[in-house]
Amino acid sequence: MSKISFGKLWFATTVLASMLSICAASLAMGSEKDRSTAVGEPAPVLPAAGPKEAGLTAEGDEIPAWRARWELARLLSYTKRFDESLKEYRKLLGEKPDLAEARTEMAKVLYWAGHKAEALKTLEQLSGGQTTPETKLLKADLLASDKRYPEAIQLYREYLKGKPADLAVRFRLAQVLSWSGQYPPALQEYETILSQKPDDVQVRRHYAFVLSWAGEFGRAAKELKRTLKE
C-alpha cells in the first residue's frame, strides 16, 4: 500500500471514529429526555364499571358510607380533581386502614398530582401480603422515576417471573438496565422483545442506542438503518 493511500485510509478512519464518538455523545445527551418520559405511567383510577365492581350483587344491597366515599374519591380522580380526591382517600383510609386496593389507588392519584415521593411512601406502607402484581409494577415505576434503579430492576424482574409475556414491562426493564449502565443485560431484554416483535421500530431504535452506548457502533448503525426509509 502506498504512503498516499495509507494516509487517506488513516484520515478516513480517524474521521469515522470522530463521527461515531460525536454520535454516541449526542445519543447519551438525548437519552436524558427518554429517561424522564419512557417509564410507564400508572393507569388512571377508574370508577366502578358495574354492579360487581361496586360490590352490589344482591337485591336489597345497601351502600355503606365508606364505599360511597371510595367511589367519590375515584370519580374525583378520574375528572382530575386530584386534591379533592386525595382528601376523600385519606378519610377513607382513616376509617379503613387495611383497604390495600384503596391505598394503591391513592398512590396513583398522588403520582398524577405530582407527589411522587409521597406516592412511593404510600405503597411502602403495604405489607408483603397486600402487594399485588399491579402494586409491584407501580412501585417499580415510581422507583425508576426516582432513579432508584437497582430496586426498580428487582421489582420488574419479580413481576416478569409471573408475567413473562408482558413485553411492555420487559421494555421498561430494558430501559432501566441501560440507564444504570448495565448494557449487556439490557441488550438481552431488547433482543427477547425483538424476537417476538421484529417490526417494532421504537424497540429496535432503543436497542440500537444501547448498542452505541456499549461501544458496538457498527451494530448500532446497522440496527438504526433498519428502522429508516431509504
Banded pLDDT at 11 (limits 50, 70, 90): very low
Contact 163, 147 (CB under 8 A): no
Residue 211 Cα to chain centre, angstroms? 20
Within a 10 A sphere around the Cβ of 24, how many other Cβ atoms?
A: 17
| All cell numbers assigned to 115 | 407527589
Tell me the mean pLDDT in the region 129-148. Answer: 84
Contact predicate 167/196, CB 8 Å: yes
Q: How many other CB atoms are found less than 10 A from the CB of residue 123?
A: 23
Return d(Cα 203, Cα 167) in angstroms, integer.
10
**Whether residue 113 has pLDDT greater than 80:** yes
Of residues 120 and 34, the one with the higher pLDDT is 120
Please, what are the domains in the chain?
46-55+62-130 (1.25.40.10), 132-230 (1.25.40.10)
Position 132 scores a pLDDT of 81
How distant, in Å, are the alpha carbons of 122, 172, 190, 193 from that of 210? 34, 14, 9, 14
- The residue to which cell 428502522 is assigned: 227
CA-to-CA separations, 24 to 177, 203, 218, 227, in angstroms, rounded: 18, 18, 12, 18
pTM recorded for the entire structure: 0.68
pLDDT of the residue at 224: 96
What is the mean predicted confidence (pLDDT) over 205-214? Answer: 96
Residue 192 has pLDDT above 60, yes or no: yes
pLDDT digits (tens, 9 = 90+) for 40-50: 666 777 676 66
In percent, the amount of the chain with pLDDT more than 90 equals 55
pLDDT band at 218 (very low <50, low <70, confident <90, very high): very high
CB atoms within 10 A of CB 16: 11
Residue 126 φ then ψ, to 5°: -80, 140
**Longest CA–CA separation in the chain, Å:** 97
pLDDT at 33: 38
The pLDDT assigned to 14 comes to 39
- CB distance 135 to 126 below 8 Å: yes
pLDDT of residue 31: 40
- Decide: 104 and 72 in contact? Cβ < 8 Å: no
